[in-house]
Amino acid sequence: MENCVFCKIAAGEIPSAKVYEDDEIVIFKDIEPKAKIHLLCVPRAHFATLAEADGERTALLARALAKIGRLAPDLGLAEGYRLVVNQGENAGQTVMHLHIHILGGEPLAWE
């Protein structure tokens, strides 16, 4: 989608520190990390929220979660990690292209 920063990163039109990519997803470093390791898993397909997840998008998200699980050790996350999906204003979603935050690399507070 035009003027979407994550579509542009996925297409390689603006730079990012990519750590993984395939035909469905890209994973790159968050520009403002909130943990020692803070990655973003972004589907190449543009949609903003889970409410827009139809059958194919739901299957895509399931595959993305499974891939994160398989890739975790290679991403420095063997000791554990947290996934976060901000949805809408109250959650502070700023990029309206669905993305999964991957946080880890250190013990994470949970309060």
**Enzyme catalytic residues:** 99
Cα(85)–Cα(76) distance, rounded to whole angstroms? 20
Contact 9, 26 (CB under 8 A): yes
Distance of CA 28 to the CA centre of its chain: 8
Q: Contact positions toward ligand AMP, by CB under 6 A?
A: 5, 16, 30-32, 40, 86, 92-95
Residue 16's binding partner among Zn ion, ligand AMP, none (Cβ under 5 to 8 angstroms by kind) is ligand AMP
| Part of the chain binding Zn ion (CB under 5 A), chosen from 5-13, 23-31, 72-80, 101-109 | 5-13
Q: With binding defined as CB under 5 A, does residue 4 bind Zn ion? A: yes
CA atoms within 13 A on the CB side of 63: 14
Please say which residue, 55 or 92, places its beta carbon nearer to ligand AMP: 92
